[in-house]
Amino acid sequence: MKLKTLISIFLISTSILYAEESKTKPAATFEYGLKAQNFTYFPYETTRPIGYNQSDLRNNKDLVYLPFFKYRNTGNKFGFDFDMMDVKINNPYYKAYYFSNGFFPTTYGFGNAQRQEYRFNFFYLPMENQVFYFGLGILKIDRFYKVENYEYASNIYSDKINSYGISVPVRSKIELLDGLELNLGFDPYVTYGRRNYTNQRVSNAMYYENTTGPYFYLTKTNPNNITEILGFQAEISLSYKFYDHLRFYVGFSRNQSTVRSINLDQTNYTYYGATNQLYVFGESKYTRLVDTHNSIYFGVSNTH
- Domain containing residue 172: CATH number: 2.40.128
Q: Does some domain include residue 198?
A: no
Q: How many domains does the chain have?
A: 1
Whether the Cβ atoms of residue 106 and residue 97 lie closer than 8 Å to each other: yes
Distance CA 220, CA 282 (A): 10
Q: Does some domain include residue 167?
A: yes
Q: Give the pLDDT of residue 26.
A: 58
**HSE of 58 in the Cβ direction (CA atoms, 13 Å)?**
9
Whether the Cβ atoms of residue 97 and residue 53 lie closer than 8 Å to each other: yes
Q: Give the pLDDT of residue 298.
A: 98
Q: Does some domain include residue 202?
A: no
pLDDT along the chain (304 residues), means of 10: 56 51 65 98 86 83 97 95 96 79 75 96 96 98 83 74 98 95 98 91 69 85 91 98 93 97 88 86 80 97 92
Distance CA 6, CA 67 (A): 9
Residue 84: CB atoms within 10 A of its CB come to 16
Q: Does some domain include residue 149?
A: yes
Q: Does some domain include residue 20?
A: no
Distance CA 238, CA 171 (A): 14
Q: Give the pLDDT of residue 55.
A: 84
Query: Which domain does 54 fall in, by range?
Result: 27-192+227-258+287-303
Q: Does some domain include residue 111?
A: yes
Distance CA 96, CA 249 (A): 38
For the chain, strand residue ranges (E) read: 28-42, 61-73, 78-89, 93-96, 106-109, 112-124, 133-149, 154-167, 170-177, 180-207, 211-221, 226-242, 246-272, 277-303
Q: Give the pLDDT of residue 19.
A: 47
Q: Look up the pTM and report it.
A: 0.84
Q: Does some domain include residue 107?
A: yes
CA distances from 173 to 62, 70, 103, 155, 195 (A): 28, 13, 53, 50, 38
The alpha-carbon radius of gyration of the chain (Å, integer) is 25
Q: Does some domain include residue 269?
A: no
